[in-house]
RNA sequence: GGCCCCAUCGUCUAACGGUUAGGACAGCGGGUUUUCAAUCCGUCAAUCAGAGUUCGAUUCUCUGUGGGGUCACCA
């Protein structure tokens, strides 16, 4: 490999939101640039004005920014190569188009759409693949810009090439055809524009999904005609729909990546998860920081077969990253989902260990699982009695608990001290639940809740004893 | 249909041609100071099939099967 500076790019078309597939492509390109102290370019491929969706560019940038995938050159911040939006680079494509015409490697397409459809239908009826080059006109007219401009494939041959992920690849002659360089609307096609841009922007590595393998021979033929050495190709495996084997796409319910943000997945989780969905450094480590990923990332270890999306694993991974958060960050995240009156720092750890993603808090609120921290619970008193106990015994146990807790002063009222005091009583009983259950239930009013010690600490001495007395 | 790509537990994956085929998620079963959560331990579970090369194949080759991609004036 040369010692040329590594330059990668992510080049989405602004046709809507980004889903995990696109994000992962961007991530890998970014990781590779970072790893090599190179540059990462964001380029907008807006040459299909029909499919363009208003607001997409802002949305794409917002998505990447959320994840910390920061570009070094792009539409908003510019860079040394002019505009990073293809529709603003038409002069450049035209320049290369004229060069190809001059060399005899491009010609205006004389056919109407209807004529082409007919050719296609005929090939289809004869069960042959349609090849435009079989209809290539003998004499070319002059391209006046109103016709489509086609590439005149200089040599029909079978291509072999190397892919950093897939190894050696090849394709038959059927893969070559005279494809369109410039459309009748004056915009270049992807096939043409991306090659010119990558050349002009000095891109060294192209990461892209595997649907481009079959058109690579066409690209190679164009690289040949232009007399340039292609960048290194790294073909990424598809992300598959969960539970299926189809490539994940918007119509399969692929979500806007920012939905994951809204649901309260951490950006660290998404990066970690997507990095490992289709790449693996070997070994058994699964939780990575971004810096660790940059350090470990290699093209050779990108997977070649598709990987299914897996929300359960994503949830697990988010929990792991939540565990690694510091208290301040945790507080900010959790309070973002809590109403003002519930924003008590003491309940942060209790919530943190019970959620997979932060939007789960909303669910906890809906199920009234947090109310008891802030107001006295209303409950069915018969449920205070533990399964092996009686009403009389329960009263005695609660009374003993109250006495014992009253010995602790306000500042000593920590979960450790409460636990010590109560366990002393509990251990003297045939079953610890005979006292621990009624206390927990009296404090929370819930069948399922955190343990009584932490609840007591959060409520404080007065409130704890008051609730126990009411239980009697 | 032509061309091309892929193939290890249900899922994500590991394994210089030599391992009892490892880990993680999910599942199941337990332990942990009462319930849920968390945590710990255990357990179930895979090399698509058939040939070939080799002392030895998950690994290399071929064929088959299965899955996927692509054949646009979309990217």
Residue A231, both tokens: 């960048």
Q: What is the CATH number of the domain that holds A412?
A: 1.10.10.350
- Take residue A172 and report the two structure tokens written for it: 């038959």
State mean pLDDT over A434-463.
94
Query: How distant is C1' of B51 from CA of A267, in Å?
Result: 50
Tell me the pTM: 0.95
Nearest amino-acid residue to B22, taking CA and C1'? A284
- pLDDT of A19 higher than 90: yes
A263-276 mean pLDDT: 97
Residue A343 lies in a domain: yes
End position of a domain, from candidates A345, A369, A393: A369
Q: Average pLDDT, stretch A447-457? A: 94
- Look at residue A428 and give its three-state secondary structure: coil
Region A208-225 average pLDDT: 96
Å from A24 (CA) to B66 (C1')?
Answer: 28
Q: Mean per-residue pLDDT for A439-466?
A: 94
Better-predicted residue by pLDDT, A89 or A252: A89
CATH number reported for the structural domain that contains residue A257 in this entry: 3.40.50.620
Say yes or no to pLDDT of A41 above 80: yes
Residues A300 and A336 in one domain: no
pLDDT at res. A1: 46
- pLDDT band of A230, cuts 50, 70, 90: very high
Identify whether residues A312 and A332 lie together within a single domain: no
The residue-averaged pLDDT of A357-365 equals 95
A122 CA to B46 C1' distance (Å): 47
- The reply to whether A288 and A362 lie within a common domain is no
Domain count, chain A: 3
Annotated active-site positions of A, please?
A: 250
Question: What SS3 state is found at A124?
Answer: helix
- Residue A341 is part of which domain span? 326-369
* A93 CA to B9 C1' distance (Å): 51
Q: Are residues A309 and A336 in the same domain?
A: no
Q: Is residue A2 over pLDDT 80?
A: no
Which nucleotide is at minimal CA–C1' distance from A439?
B34
Structure confidence at residue A451 (pLDDT): 94
Rounded CA-CA distance A359/A370 in Å is 14
Distance CA(A281)–CA(A300), nearest Å, equals: 9
Mean pLDDT of the region A234-252? 92
* Contact assessment for residue A171 and residue A163, using Cβ atoms and an 8 Å cutoff: no
Looking at per-residue confidence, does A388 or A202 come out higher?
A202
pLDDT tier, A127 (very low <50, low <70, confident <90, very high otherwise): confident
The spacing between the Cα labelled CA in A173 and the C1' in B55, in angstroms, equals 44
Question: Dihedrals φ, ψ of A99, to 5°?
Answer: -60, -45
DSSP designation for A393: H
Average pLDDT over residues A375-380: 92
Minimum-distance residue to B1 (CA–C1'): A127
pLDDT (mean) for A53-62? 97
In a domain, A33, yes or no: yes
Does A455 fall in a domain?
A: yes
The most distant pair of C-alpha atoms in chain A lies apart, rounded to whole Å, by 106
| Per-residue pLDDT at A55 | 95
ipTM greater than cut 0.85:
yes
Asked if A263 and A304 sit in the same domain, the reply is: yes
pLDDT category at A71 given cuts 50, 70, 90 is very high
My answer on whether A356 and A314 are in the same domain is no
Assigned token pair, A301? 């270890």
Inside any domain, residue A403: yes
Indicate whether A255 and A269 sit together in one domain: yes
Q: DSSP strand E in A32-148: where?
A: 39-42, 106-108
DSSP state of A427: H
Mean pLDDT of chain A: 94
Tell me: do A361 and A409 sit in the same domain. Answer: no
Residue A215 lies in a domain: no
Residue A187: pLDDT band with limits 50, 70, 90? very high
Nucleotide nearest to A186 (CA to C1'): B73
Question: If you average pLDDT over residues A23-46, what whole number do you get?
Answer: 98
Angle in degrees, CA A179, A185, A189, rounded to 5:
35
Mean pLDDT of A142-148: 92
Comparing A37-41, A111-115, A248-252, the range with the smallest average pLDDT is A248-252
* CA–C1' nearest nucleotide, residue A319: B38
Residue A263 φ/ψ region, left for φ over 0, alpha for ψ in the -120 to 50 degree band, beta for the rest: alpha
Residue A197 is predicted with a pLDDT of 98
Question: For residues A388 and A434, is the Cβ–Cβ distance under 8 A?
Answer: yes
- Return positions of chain B under 7 A from a protein CB: 1-8, 11-15, 22-26, 33-39, 67-75
Contact assessment for residue A435 and residue A397, using Cβ atoms and an 8 Å cutoff? yes
Give the nucleotide at minimum CA-to-C1' distance from A150. Answer: B73
Alpha carbons A180 and A147: distance in angstroms, whole number? 10
Residue whose C-alpha is closest to residue A242's, from A146, A183, A306, A160: A306
CB atoms within 10 A of CB A446: 18
- Looking at residue A253, its pLDDT comes to 79
**What is the spatial distance, in angstroms and rounded to an integer, between the CA atom of A152 and the C1' atom of B32?**
74
In angstroms, the CA A367 to CA A18 distance is 33
A80 domain-assigned: no
Measured in whole angstroms, how far is the alpha carbon of residue A226 from the centre of its chain?
Answer: 36
The pLDDT value recorded for residue A166 is 95
Distance, CA of A101 to C1' of B10, in Å = 56
Whole-angstrom Cα distance, residue A309 to residue A90? 38
User: Is A158 inside a domain boundary?
Assistant: no
CA of A294 to C1' of B7 (A): 29
| A70 and A43 share one domain | yes
CA atoms within 13 A of residue A168's CA, in its CB half-sphere: 2
Is residue A53 in some structural domain?
A: yes
Residue nearest to nucleotide B36 (CA to C1'): A448
A387 shares a domain with A361: no
Note the pLDDT of residue A3.
66
**Torsion sign, CA atoms A454, A455, A459, A465:** negative
Residue A215 clears pLDDT 50, i.e. is over it: yes
A9 with A58, same domain: the answer is yes
Q: What pLDDT sits at residue A122?
A: 87
Domain identity same for A407 and A437: yes
**Nucleotide nearest to A312 in CA–C1' terms:** B25
pLDDT tens for each residue of A412-439: 899 999 999 999 999 999 889 999 999 9
- Decide: helix, strand or coil at residue A306: coil
What percent of chain A stands above pLDDT 70?
Answer: 99
Give nearest nucleotide to A419 (CA–C1').
B33
């Amino acid at each position: 490999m040369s010692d040329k500076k590594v330059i990668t790019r992510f080049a989405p078309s602004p046709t809507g939101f980004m889903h995990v597939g696109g994000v992962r492509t961007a991530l890998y390109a970014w990781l590779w640039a970072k790893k090599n102290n190179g540059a990462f370019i964001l380029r907008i491929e807006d040459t299909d004005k029909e499919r363009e969706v208003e607001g997409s560019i802002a949305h794409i940038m917002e998505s990447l920014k959320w994840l910390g995938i920061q570009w070094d050159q792009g539409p908003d911040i510019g860079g040394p190569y002019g505009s990073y939006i293809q529709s603003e680079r038409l002069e450049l494509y035209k320049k290369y188009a004229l060069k190809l015409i001059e060399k005899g490697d491009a010609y205006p397409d004389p056919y109407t759409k209807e004529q082409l459809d007919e050719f296609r239908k005929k090939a289809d009826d004869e069960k042959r693949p349609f090849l435009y080059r079989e209809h290539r006109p003998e004499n070319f007219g002059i391209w006046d810009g109103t016709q489509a401009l086609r590439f005149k494939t200089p040599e029909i041959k079978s291509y072999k090439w190397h892919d950093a992920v897939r190894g050696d690849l090849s394709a038959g002659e059927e893969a070559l055809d005279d494809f369109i360089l410039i459309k009748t609307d004056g915009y270049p096609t992807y096939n043409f524009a991306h090659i010119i841009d990558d050349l002009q922007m000095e891109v060294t590595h192209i990461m892209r999904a595997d649907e481009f393998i079959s058109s690579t021979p066409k690209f190679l033929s164009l690289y040949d005609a232009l007399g340039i050495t292609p960048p290194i190709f790294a073909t990424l495996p598809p992300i598959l729909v969960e539970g299926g084997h189809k490539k994940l796409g918007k119509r399969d319910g692929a979500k806007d990546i920012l939905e994951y943000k809204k649901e309260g997945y951490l950006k660290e989780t998404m990066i970690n998860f997507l990095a490992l969905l289709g790449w693996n450094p070997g070994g058994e480590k699964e939780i990575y920081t971004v810096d660790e990923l940059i350090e470990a990332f290699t093209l050779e270890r990108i997977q070649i077969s598709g990987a299914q999306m897996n929300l359960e694993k994503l949830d697990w991974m988010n929990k792991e990253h939540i565990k690694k958060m510091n208290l301040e960050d945790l507080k900010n995240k959790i309070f973002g989902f809590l109403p003002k009156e519930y924003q008590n720092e003491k309940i942060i750890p209790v919530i943190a260990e019970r959620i997979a993603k932060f939007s789960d808090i909303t669910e906890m609120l809906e199920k009234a699982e947090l109310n008891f921290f802030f107001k006295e619970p209303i409950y069915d008193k018969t449920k205070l009695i533990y399964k092996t106990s009686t009403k009389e015994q329960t009263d005695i146990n609660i009374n003993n608990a109250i006495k014992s807790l009253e010995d602790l002063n306000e500042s000593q009222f920590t979960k450790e001290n409460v636990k010590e005091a109560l366990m002393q009583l509990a251990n003297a009983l045939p079953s610890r639940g005979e006292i621990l259950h009624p206390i927990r239930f009296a404090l929370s009013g819930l069948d399922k809740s955190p343990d009584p010690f932490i609840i007591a600490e959060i409520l404080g001495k007065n409130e704890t004893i008051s609730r126990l007395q009411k239980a009697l």
